[in-house]
């Protein structure tokens, strides 16, 4: 067991002849924010359902806080925001949380304080006594987040939490996730909004067709690859002397050498100068999560994942 939170090993899930997950390994450690990414149909939602005990895997096993996934005790310390949910329109946000507080078995003596804390974490305190039927979609999403945070869970699973949120709401969500990490709470963030994941996650697991394409610390996945050189004085097509440095791309007013490692930069600069070019700057190429995602899925820039 890894730091007492989540460990999935060799998880397979089949629905008839269709395989939704194949040999999935997934770990979440204490105080870690992990992003679960992948195109539609990659198996992300199935993975979430398996770890929550909502569906049983065809093969493989896992532990959640040291308990088997099928054990209700495994879910006692988990908060969950599903992608699709509906709250009774005739209840206020405070009443919705009161209902869930009863389901959680929160002690009556502390229930009001726990509800107030969850409302504050979801930035709903000022609207707590309004009917949720009058809320916008973004406000409805905040109610779901407040429910997920009720009772101060040690592990929070967020399924597309930014749905319906405006830019301010997304920034507040990022702040809430960072706050959970600072408190030592673990978070699994299932999202297709790569920029959101890039800003808050420590680790990323990328799924495609039920299999893990990449998994590791975000810094490792986004490690710089190649260099961008700003030059003048070179004609196109480029001289053949540059072929030894691998493929070259025109990147705005610069040349991108994606196969050149840091220790190869001095030789590259020397070659460019020998060819009569003026080298104005050299900088590492830092990929975004979206660029890395597209590379892994072999989706060209501008294509749809």
pLDDT confidence band for 136 (50 / 70 / 90): confident
Q: Are 178 and 200 in contact (CB under 8 A)?
A: yes
As a dihedral over the C-alpha atoms of residue 257, residue 262, residue 264, residue 270, rounded to 10 degrees, the angle is: 80
User: pLDDT (tens digit, 9 = 90+) per residue, 58-81?
Assistant: 888 888 888 888 888 878 889 998
pLDDT of residue 188: 94
Residues of the chain above pLDDT 90, percent: 10
Burial of 101 (0-12, 13-18, 19+ CB in 10 A): buried
Order of all β-strands in the sheet with 278-284: 248-251, 254-257, 227-232, 278-284
Q: Are strands 155-159 and 186-190 parallel, antiparallel or unpaired?
A: parallel
User: pLDDT (tens digit, 9 = 90+) per residue, 203-227?
Assistant: 888 888 888 888 888 777 777 778 8
Average pLDDT of the residues in 10-34? 88
pLDDT confidence band for 2 (50 / 70 / 90): very low
Query: Does 10 have pLDDT greater than 60?
Result: yes
pLDDT of residue 67: 87
Conformation bin of residue 291: beta by default, left when phi > 0, alpha when psi is -120 to 50: alpha
pLDDT of residue 1: 45
Residues 6+ positions from 46 with CB-CB distance below 8 Å:
13, 20, 21, 55, 210
Q: How far apart are the first and last CA of the chain?
A: 34
Q: How far apart are alpha carbons 65 and 67 in whole angstroms?
A: 6
Neighbours of 202 (CB within 10 A): 16
Q: How far apart are alpha carbons 280 and 278 in whole angstroms?
A: 6
**pTM for the full predicted model:** 0.77
Question: Domain spanning 6-221 has what CATH number?
Answer: 3.40.50.300
pLDDT of residue 94: 92
User: pLDDT (tens digit, 9 = 90+) per residue, 76-102?
Assistant: 889 998 877 788 889 999 999 999 998
pLDDT confidence band for 156 (50 / 70 / 90): very high
Query: Does 301 have pLDDT greater than 60?
Result: no
Q: How far apart are alpha carbons 252 and 107 in whole angstroms?
A: 61
Q: Where are the domains of the chain?
A: 6-221, 227-286
pLDDT confidence band for 165 (50 / 70 / 90): confident
Q: How far apart are alpha carbons 229 and 271 in whole angstroms?
A: 12
């Amino acid at each position: 067991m890894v730091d007492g939170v989540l460990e999935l090993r060799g998880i397979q899930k089949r629905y008839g002849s269709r395989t939704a997950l194949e040999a999935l390994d997934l770990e979440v450690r204490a105080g870690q924010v992990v992003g679960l990414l992948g195109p539609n149909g990659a198996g992300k939602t199935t993975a979430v359902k398996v770890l929550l005990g909502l569906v049983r895997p065809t093969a493989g096993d896992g532990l959640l806080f040291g308990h088997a996934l099928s054990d209700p005790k495994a879910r006692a310390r988990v908060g969950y925001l599903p992608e699709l949910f509906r709250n009774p329109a005739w209840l206020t946000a405070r009443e919705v949380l009161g209902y869930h507080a009863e389901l959680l078995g929160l002690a009556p003596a502390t229930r009001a304080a726990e509800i107030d804390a969850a409302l504050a974490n979801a930035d709903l305190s000022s609207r707590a006594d309004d009917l949720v039927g009058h809320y916008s979609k973004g406000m409805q999403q905040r109610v779901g987040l407040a429910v997920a945070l009720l009772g101060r869970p040690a592990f929070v699973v967020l399924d597309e939490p930014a749905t319906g949120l405006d830019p301010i709401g997304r920034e507040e969500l990022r702040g809430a996730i960072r706050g959970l990490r600072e408190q030592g709470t673990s978070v699994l963030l299932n999202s297709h909004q790569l920029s959101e994941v890039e800003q808050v996650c420590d680790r990323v697991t990328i799924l495609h067709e039920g299999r893990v394409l990449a998994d590791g610390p975000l810094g490792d996945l986004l490690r710089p690859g190649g260099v961008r050189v700003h030059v003048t004085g070179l004609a196109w097509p480029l001289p053949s002397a540059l072929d030894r440095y691998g493929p070259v791309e025109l990147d705005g007013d610069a040349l991108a050498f994606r196969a050149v490692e840091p220790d190869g930069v001095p030789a590259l600069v020397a070659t460019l100068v020998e060819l009569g070019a003026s080298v104005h700057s050299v900088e590492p190429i830092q990929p975004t999560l979206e660029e890395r995602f597209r590379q892994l899925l072999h989706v060209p820039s501008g294509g749809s994942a």
